Structure 1
Amino acid sequence: MRVLGMMSGTSLDAIDVALVEFTRDRTDPAVLEARPLHLGEEPWPARTRDALRAVLPPAPADVATWNRLHAAVGDAFAAAAARVLGAHGGADLVAAHGQTVHHDVREDGTVAATLQIGDASRIAAATEAPVVHDLRAADVAGGGQGAPLAPLLDQLLLGHEQPTAVLNIGGIANLTLVGGPEIVAGDTGPGNALLDAAVHAATGEAADHDAALARQGSVDEAALAALLTREPFYARPFPRSTGREHFDAEHVRRLLGEEALAALTLPDLLATLVELTAVTIARAVVPLGARRVVASGGGIRNPLLRERLAAHLAPLPLLDADALGIPADGKEALLIALLGHHAVHGLPGTLALPGGTAHTGARAPVVLGSLTPPHAAPAAGAAAEARGPVTRLRLVPGEGR
């Protein structure tokens, strides 16, 4: 089965795309082989990207704005899918995460609702393939966090080895512990979100490229202590999740106050926020008993953040996913393709814990996603043995590697 997986994170830097061919191992059907045919990024239309950034919390938006953006995001994903499939051949299925615009976490840490936009009908029309979408809602309906979804991929790739903390640093950072006595998963807190918001507010740029500004500054220890101690999220147990509506452009101002924030130069603020991300990740990882940390996501390409995270994790080794043969830049799109595969085969997209609950805190693991059009599941005629549980994922060389 050829599945096109598509993902856009909170940073809105690009649409990640992975075209993957999935086959069962002939000698062991519990092993699923994934051959990447294409891994890459497709650009957001500038107008759509800017419109999305303009309505991110705390900015207000009305229902008409969201309606138009739902269509525009669908068009952007449709165009990206059509370009890739035109160059690399068709797909049996498209799995599209869409763009998260709101993740509603209650004060007690449970999730009331989650919303990802991007009209799947437009993607189906452009690709002539069925589309699996709305990948988080079923888990939330079952009492789960709806996030992170990466543990499925992390467990199948690395869960049979030594205890490993698998880290993804996007706008929000999340981790999965696999290979230990129990799977632990959740968001650790901000990844790039606060850094990007501070840079954009001060300079209009999207990010502090190569940490050029942050390296000119020094960590303000008083500000760092305030950001750590005044934020209750960091004390919540796993599983937990959060989003840009919590760690938004006004988060630092709310916690520090106007006067303390104004006293910080931009380089000092950025250096402090890099340290905040490194400290909160390390504090979440170290107690888990992992023997190594495997990282991916845009944040790991920030050289200062990588240095500070490695220092706080030491002596735990911090490894790039690429070093283990896992395509770091394509990992999230690969995950979405895997979730699409599992959805049409009736396989849960979340992992079972020993008590029968899901890694997200849901009452049970569930099949994730909705299908558009509803009659077009490509796995409907698959043999029963090809639809059984998957216990391991094997990445095999392909054109996309």
Structure 2
Amino acid sequence: MRVLGLMSGTSHDGIDSAIVDWSPDGDVLTGAVEHTGAWPYEERLRERVAGALPPNPADLAEVCRLDTLIGQAFADAAEACGPVDLICSHGQTMFHWVEGGRARGTLQLGQPAWIAERTGVPVVSDLRARDVAAGGQGAPLVSYLDLLLLAGLPGPSGALNLGGIANLTVRDAGTAYDTGPASALMDAAVSAATGAPYDEDGRLAASGEVHRGLLEDLLAEPYYRAPPPKSTGKELFHLGYLVRAASPYGLSLPDLLATLAALTAETVAAEIRRHRLETVVVSGGGVRNPVLMAMLAARAGGARLVPSDELGVPADAKEAIAFSLFGWLTAHGLPATVPGCTGASGPRLLGTITPGDGPLRLPEPLGQGPHRLCLTTDSGLPGVAG
């Protein structure tokens, strides 16, 4: 079954896509990665998404408009990818409601009816809500894919995704959680100061110096000491949060970015050291920031940092590949959550299904999910886990 995964993360800069042809054989699931790509949001839509994110107010009229406009953008991205059997759309997270360490609700916009109408293909969507309803954090869902990828690695290993928020999956502990911001605060600082979406190749941060006083203030954030399972987002780590913390110091933009990169490196590395990980498979946009990666390597206690590309998963597309996998699992009646990672009361079948053209026809349900994963790319280079 060829499944298109669509994902827009906390950086809200556009839609990542991945087509994977999934084939089960006993307890091994093989995925041939046929396409990965990115579909940038139009600048006006990106501005509207940013304007509706916390702590900014957004009325129901704007929520309705964004649900439609994001859905239409996802439909554009899906149409550009070509024909598939199924689409799994994450949508755009606009609010993740956490109180007292418990996720109480989560909202992703991007009306799937627009995708189904445009493509004629069934769409799985709204994947986080069921895990939250079962007492989970609704994140990081990617831990299901991570544990399959890590299964065959020697020694204590983990998987790290550096998007807007950083999340870590620890194989031997069977746990996963958001460690804190990855690029969220850095991107907010760059956007406010220059209008650019991010610090390309970490060039500004490379010319700055870490300010220990601000770094210590930022590290005092209680979230970092909260026990997992836990999740966070731009509801906490947003521009207003950064302004309140950084304004007394009056730093230049390069010094501020160097300090924020150190914040990400310190908070992630503390968790890598705590679990005594020897190998960490790294994905997400942060992999392309050499300043962040160098700081992380220096603090990670000797852990080997391996780009996920080496396991057949393009670093920029891992989450889109994960959602392709979740769509396949849902279509086959299989749960796609790990209770020890999200905190849910049990594994759950995720998402709702919007039919495409004609009758909705799903495969026969499978009795059990895969225990191992084999991924290959179009170039024929294998990435084997398990």
Question: TM-score category by the smaller chain?
Answer: over 0.9
- Long gaps (5+) in structure 1: 352-356
Pair 1:36-2:45 in alignment: no
1:296 aligns with 2:283: yes
Q: C-alpha deviations, 1:148-201, integer Å up to 9, x for none?
A: 0111111112223332110000000001011x2x31200000010000101111
Q: How does 1:156-305 map to 2 (within 5 A)?
A: 156-162=148-154, 163-178=156-171, 180=172, 182-229=173-220, 231-256=221-246, 258=247, 260-261=248-249, 263-305=250-292
TM-align CA RMSD: 1.7
Where does 1:2-401 land on structure 2 (aligned, <5 Å)? 2-25=2-25, 29-85=26-82, 90-106=83-99, 108-162=100-154, 163-178=156-171, 180=172, 182-229=173-220, 231-256=221-246, 258=247, 260-261=248-249, 263-351=250-338, 357-373=339-355, 377-380=360-363, 382=364, 386-398=366-378
Deviates more, 1:271-280 or 1:289-298: 289-298
For residue 350 of structure 2, give the secondary structure of its aligned residue in structure 1: coil
Deviation of residue 376 (structure 1)?
Answer: 5.4
Consecutive unaligned residues in structure 2, runs of 5 or more? 382-386
Match of 1:354 in 2: none
Which stretch has the larger CA shift, 317-326 or 15-24?
Answer: 317-326
How far is the alpha carbon of 1:56 from its aligned partner?
1.9
Q: Secondary structure at the match of 1:97?
A: strand
**Shift, 1:293, TM fit:** 1.0
Query: How many residues matched?
Result: 379
Change (3 A) 1:281 1:53: same
Structure 1 range deviating more: 157-166 or 188-197:
157-166
Q: Which amino acid aligns with 2:355?
A: P
1:38 and 1:400 in contact (8 A); partners too: no
Q: Distance in 1 between matches of 2:372 and 2:201?
A: 36
Amino acid at match of 2:362: A
Inter-partner Cα distance in structure 2 for 1:70 and 1:53: 14
Q: Shift of residue 400 of structure 1?
A: 9.2
Contact persistence 1:175–1:186 (CA under 8 A)? yes
Contact 2:174 2:340 in 1 (8 A): no
What is the CA-CA distance between 1:55 and the residue it aligns to? 1.8
Deviation per residue, 1:205-248 (Å, 9 max, x gap): 1111122211221111011101111x110001111100011101
Distance 1:49 1:199 in 2: 15
- AA of the residue aligned to 1:142: A
What per-residue deviation string (whole Å, max 9, x for no partner) do you get for residues 121-143 of structure 1?
11001110110000100000001
SS in 1 for 2:13: coil
Q: Aligned partner of 2:224: which letter?
A: Y
- Give the TM-score of the pair, scaled to structure 1: 0.91
SS in 2 for 1:359: helix
Percent identity, aligned pairs only, is 47
2: distance between equivalents of 1:207 and 1:327?
20
CA contact (8 A) 1:194 1:273 kept: yes
Partner amino acid, structure 2, of 1:395: L
- Whole-Å Cα distance in 1 between the matches of residues 95 and 379 of structure 2? 36
Q: Deviations over 1:89-126 (max 9, x none)?
A: x21110000000000110x2101110000010110011
| TM-score (norm. length: structure 2) | 0.94
State whether residues 8 and 16 of structure 2, in contact with CA within 8 Å, keep that contact through their aligned partners in structure 1: yes
Please state how far the C-alpha of 1:389 moved relative to its aligned partner. Answer: 2.1
Match of 2:384 in 1: none
1:399–1:46 Cα change, 3 Å = farther
CA contact (8 A) 2:278 2:302 kept: no
Distance verdict in 2 for CA 1:387–1:16, change over 3 Å: farther
Which SS does the other structure have where 1:285 is aligned? helix
- The structure where strand makes up a greater share of residues is 2
Shift of 1:364: 0.8
Query: What is the rounded CA distance, in whole Å, between the counterparts of 2:114 and 2:318 in structure 1?
Result: 25
Distance (Å, rounded) in 2 between the aligned partners of 1:387 and 1:41: 34
Deviates more, 1:61-70 or 1:45-54: 45-54
What secondary structure sits across from 2:104 in the alignment? strand
